[in-house]
Amino acid sequence: MLYVISLLLFLLGIFAFGIAFSLPAFQALVFVAGILLIALAMALPIHLKAK
């Protein structure tokens, strides 16, 4: 179940990357949110499975 959540977060981050350049406002905010979502998607399985 954790990997499904991570996959969804990763895909949402990729979507945020793609849509950030076509937005008229808040482009940088959406782009940074995409980076943070992908980082969270990578960090969740690493940190939670280590315990």
| pLDDT, tens only, 21-44 | 999 999 999 999 999 999 999 999
Quote the domain boundaries for residue 12: 2-49
Radius of gyration of the chain (CA): 12
Amino acid 51: pLDDT: 64
pLDDT tops 90 at residue 9: yes
Residue 24's φ and ψ, nearest 5 degrees, are -75, -25
Q: Model confidence at 48, in pLDDT bands (50, 70, 90)?
A: confident
| Total of domains in the chain | 1
Percent of the chain with pLDDT over 90: 82
Least confident span in 1-10, 23-32, 41-50: 41-50
Q: How far apart are CA 29 and CA 9, in angstroms?
A: 17
Average pLDDT, the chain: 93
